[in-house]
Structure 1
Amino acid sequence: MPESRLLPVPDGLDGLRLDVALSRLTGLSRTAAADLIDSGGVTVDGADAPRSTRVQHGELLEVTMPETGREAPPMAVDGLTVLYDDADLLVVDKPVGVAAHPSPGWHGPTVTQGLAAMGYQLASGGPAERQGIVHRLDAGTTGAMVVAKSERAYSALKRAFKERTVDKRYSALVQGHPDPTRGTIDAPIDRHPGSDYKFAVVGGGRPSVTHYETTEAFRAATLLDVHLETGRTHQIRVHMAALRHPCVGDLTYGGDPTLAARLGLTRQWLHARELAFEHPGTGEELRVVSPYPQDLQHALDVLAAEG
């Protein structure tokens, strides 16, 4: 049955559009939130309201949540492997084309389904379709992703990501040669004003900070080591596009399709290479590294051969 939730509007969302506030409160995409509002699934202080309504601190949203695949059966996921596993948590190596968990509009494989098929029991915290999930990677981004198995791990890891104590390191192959070769991008991100499925650097958006450093320069592209302070959706892709050095293969954010084809890429060259955090059980640092998948390594090999 659909789940009904009562969600008070916090001070931090005061003045936002209803669809934006609902997206922030529930984790739904803005498109899914807008569809839910349009279908009559949301009231504000007991009254229907259009998606453009500006919410106010203290108002109460009653939301009839859509059924988002919580009954999705276990399903083996090709390429999903486990890099680390203990009683509290596991770190998976997420392959391309796999989402973290079921969500409205996504009909492909998910990490949660894959782990269920492998026999894992995840922490029960959070919505049913997202149990154990404490952070996410885009479906088109590969690499290390931690998942909670115990309740203490779920709480501790959610807090660690919120407080930005998790060390998240990415490798990104970008077009051209960023100047300077190392730097910090401090630019707010929000929904793209003209394309709901994209994000952009927008005045008044959510604070977003990305540090980058050149690892290797090729003739047509540069391999960067990227460290995230914040974890906004598409953050690296948006920030690099704003510098006019989009990730190679990222056609959504201005990547050159000719270069992508030459390198054999069908998605953005972006990989969550390393995660480090305080283990919720032992208190010691746990650092896990994910190797480059075959398609990304092939692109690097082609660039190296070109000199």
Structure 2
Amino acid sequence: MPKSIKIDISQEKQRLDTFLSENEYPDKSRSYVQTLIKDEKILVNGLKVKTGYTLKEGDLVSLLDVELKTLDLEPVDLHLDIVYEDDDLLVINKPEGLVVHPASTYHKPTLVHGLMHQIDHLSSINGVIRPGIVHRIDKDTSGLLVVAKTDQAHQLLSEQLKNHEITRTYTALVYHDFDENEGTIKAPIGRHPKNRMKMTVLESGRFSVTHFKVLKRFDQYTLISCDLETGRTHQIRVHMAYINHPVVGDPIYGPKKVISKHGQFLHATDLSFVHPIKKEHMTFHADIPSYFQKFLDELE
């Protein structure tokens, strides 16, 4: 049985090869993915398409070379911190170190494994390895994300995400002081041409906008808040490194000598959206983790 991915509204208008390179084959080159498409190992709606095919909402992408049986999708008790839950959705405070969903190259327990243990029903729009997942945050980034229980809630939340109607605010500790108290970074982000595990600012990248505000200044560091206008892979980490303020503890975009065994000091602090079914405006907050706060206390 092939693996199938149903494209939702937040994923449309992307090139097929780019979408698969970033989401399904992060450790492979784009040319590898393009070869799979040309060899009809990847089909869209059961048909052969060009590598640059533009995805549309409702498209069914079939990966004929991936065997789902290689993925361990047994529920795992991860004692997830559920901030809010109702019949349609839930909000999770994800710990650092936890990957959001499994992949063909990642077999350790993920947030999805934990959700399967604690939640009876999850939406099916994103397929069998990403049930309920509306948006992601990086493995070593902690904080809030919304998970859909029903397909209807998932679809409506995805529309809010695409229309920039879901507000996500992050708290980050970055290197160096700022001349300004707030600012906006507008720089397109794409896959690094030489290192497939990294993203970078590229002229050919996707439109990306991050707004930041200084919260507190330390000797060599600055605590900031970041509001995402777009949600690209590693967006805050790439944008802050781009303006020479890499996130402290970031092993990929920061200094080679890494501070902290917990990964980057980046936490999704606040999340706001309109409930897709109840139509009520909802806002959630999660304090920064204890190790993050301890480091700030030491800087004092």
Higher mean alpha-carbon deviation, 249-258 vs 94-103, is at 249-258
Contact 2:123 2:150 in 1 (8 A): yes
Q: Offset of 1:46 from its aligned partner?
A: 4.7
Contact 2:20 2:33 in 1 (8 A): no
Deviation string, structure 1 residues 53-72 (Cα, Å, up to 9, x no partner): 863669x9864252356651
Q: Offset of 1:120 from its aligned partner?
A: 3.2
CA distance in 2, matches of 1:71, 1:163: 34
Residues 278-297 of structure 1: matches in 2 within 5 Å? 278-297=274-293
2:69 matches 1:73: no
Secondary structure at the residue paired with 1:252?
coil
Residues 183 and 113 of structure 1, relative CA distance in 2, 3 Å threshold: same
Within the candidate set 28, 52, 56, 1:55 is matched to 52
The match for 2:252 is 252
Residues 136-147 of structure 1: matches in 2 within 5 Å? 136-147=136-147
Per the normalisation by structure 2, the TM-score is 0.85
Deviation string, structure 1 residues 203-235 (Cα, Å, up to 9, x no partner): 121000000000011111100011000000000
Count of aligned residue pairs for this structure pair = 286
The match for 1:148 is 148
Residues 5 and 73 of structure 1, relative CA distance in 2, 3 Å threshold: closer
Structure 1 vs Structure 2: percent identity of aligned residues? 37
Secondary structure at the residue paired with 2:196?
strand
The match for 1:50 is none
Provide structure 1 residue ranges, at least 5 long, that are not aligned to the other structure.
Answer: 48-52
Query: Which amino acid in structure 2 is aligned with residue 268 of structure 1?
Result: Q
CA RMSD of aligned residues (A): 2.9
| Structure with greater proportional helix content | 1
CA distance in 2, matches of 1:145, 1:251: 23
Contact 1:32 1:104 in 2 (8 A): no
CA distance in 1, matches of 2:170, 2:141: 10
Query: Which amino acid in structure 2 is aligned with residue 20 of structure 1?
Result: T
Q: Offset of 1:160 from its aligned partner?
A: 0.7
Deviation string, structure 1 residues 157-180 (Cα, Å, up to 9, x no partner): 111111110010000100011232
Contact 2:201 2:242 in 1 (8 A): yes
Query: Which amino acid in structure 1 is aligned with residue 52 of structure 2?
Result: V
Residues 94 and 126 of structure 1, relative CA distance in 2, 3 Å threshold: same
CA distance in 2, matches of 1:194, 1:74: 37
The match for 1:184 is 184
Contact 1:265 1:295 in 2 (8 A): no
2:21 matches 1:23: yes
Query: Which amino acid in structure 2 is aligned with residue 114 of structure 1?
Result: G
CA distance in 2, matches of 1:277, 1:141: 20
Query: Which amino acid in structure 2 is aligned with residue 234 of structure 1?
Result: H
CA distance in 1, matches of 2:112, 2:5: 23
Provide structure 2 residue ranges, at least 5 long, that are not aligned to the other structure.
Answer: none
Deviation string, structure 1 residues 261-298 (Cα, Å, up to 9, x no partner): xxx44311100001000011221111111121122112
Contact 2:267 2:288 in 1 (8 A): yes
Q: Offset of 1:119 from its aligned partner?
A: 3.9
Residues 73-92 of structure 1: matches in 2 within 5 Å? 73-77=74-78, 80-92=80-92
Deviation string, structure 1 residues 113-160 (Cα, Å, up to 9, x no partner): 101112432122221111111000111110001101123211111111
Query: Which amino acid in structure 1 is aligned with residue 86 of structure 2?
Result: D
Per the normalisation by structure 1, the TM-score is 0.83
The match for 1:126 is 126
